[in-house]
Amino acid sequence: MNFKLIISSYLTNEKHYSYKLAFLPEPIWIKDDKKIKANSGPHYKEGGIKALLDNQKLNQYFNNTNKYASLVIDNSKCNNGFDFDLNLKNLLNDLRKTGFKIKIYQ
């Protein structure tokens, strides 16, 4: 089970930022070779988006009216022992509470 998160902003030259959320076994954000811990424990929890934005110093590009996210869901590997529905629900709630408008792709 993996998720790919693409967040976009028109306040920066890069326009969008792409991260993979993998469970190794903890939820970890991955971009290129860099790994950013979303939270501790086996399931995704609220606060992982804030941890990502803080770590990548992206808060300045995502004000309250400028938050868009595309979430690509890859559940081709089934659950692999992880609770897919719980992790997806928690991730979507976290994105919404952080103020992102979300489009989901499967």
DSSP string, 38-98: --SSSS--TTHHHHHHHHTT-GGG--TT--EEEEEEE-TT--TTS-HHHHHHHHHHHHHHT
- The distance from CA 40 to its chain's CA centroid, rounded to whole angstroms, is 15
Domain containing 22: what range? 2-105
Residue 71 has pLDDT above 90, yes or no: yes
A 10 A CB-CB count for 26 gives: 14
pLDDT tens string 10-50? 766 667 899 999 988 899 999 998 999 999 999 999 999 99
The β-bridge relationship of strands 2-8 and 27-31 is: unpaired
A 10 A CB-CB count for 97 gives: 12
Asked whether the beta carbons of 28 and 21 are under 8 A apart, the reply is yes
Please give the C-alpha separations between residue 38 and each of 10, 65, 71, in angstroms, as whole numbers: 25, 24, 16
The separation between the first and the last C-alpha atoms of the chain, rounded to the nearest angstrom, is: 12
- The distance from CA 87 to its chain's CA centroid, rounded to whole angstroms, is 11
The number of distinct structural domains making up the chain is 1
Q: Mean pLDDT of all residues in the chain?
A: 87
**pLDDT attached to residue 24:** 86
